[in-house]
Structure 1
Amino acid sequence: MADRNTLGEIKKTIEGYLGKRVTLKANKGRKRIVVREGILEDTYPSIFIVKVFGDFDTDRKVSYSYCDILTETVEITICENNRPIKVS
């Protein structure tokens, strides 16, 4: 079972990268993996929001929970100074 401190540490780490470019790799089940790039826009007590780049007419935003990172359903990589930093 996840410890509250562990989720809190993940949240603090993500809060430190607000406004940075990220790459998300999400496991959607049944061998479906979605890779998205965007900007880490905001954090909330249970979720974080990423503004997704793409060929859309409107802004798209996706949200994931910190538990998704803990259970490795979502892998987030921060692109800072042209070198990736994996958040786990």
Structure 2
Amino acid sequence: MPTSLASIKEKLDNRIGQELMVIAQAGRKKTTERKGILRETYPAVFVVDLDQDENSFERVSYSYTDILTKNIEVDFEEE
């Protein structure tokens, strides 16, 4: 598991364009799962284009801090 924001960004930079699943903490013992494609990375956030069959909005962004603090988990399809 990456231990710094820079290493998280670097790992995501190498996977732009790939399908992924974002599992987000949505309160006590609840999680939400969203499928999409990693579209872009920026200095503080990354952008995911969501699967339109499952989501009402098209894009969502998350910060690298969300991964570091385990508020979200990112799984790539082939792993």
TM-score w.r.t. the length of structure 2 is 0.86
- For the pair 1:42 / 2:10, whether they are aligned, the reply is no
In 2, are the aligned partners of 1:51 and 1:59 still within 8 Å (CA)? no
Name 2:76's counterpart in structure 1. 78
After TM superposition, where is structure 1 displaced by more than 3 Å over at least 4 residues in a row? none
Over the aligned positions, Cα root-mean-square deviation in angstroms equals 1.8
- Matched residue SS, 2:17: coil
Structure 1 vs Structure 2: percent identity of aligned residues?
A: 37
Aligned length: 76
Give unpaired runs (5+ residues) of structure 2. Answer: none
Please show how residues 5-84 of structure 1 align to structure 2 within 5 Å. 6-55=4-53, 60-79=58-77, 83-84=78-79
The offset of 1:59, in angstroms, is 6.2
* Structure showing the higher strand proportion among its residues: 1
Aligned equivalents of 1:36 and 1:12: distance in 2? 22
TM-score (norm 1): 0.78
Could you tell me which amino acid in structure 2 is paired with residue 9 of structure 1? Answer: S
CA gap 1:70/1:53 in 2 versus in 1, 3 angstroms = same
- Alignment partners' CA distance in 2, 1:59 and 1:74: 18
* Gap runs ≥5 in structure 1: none
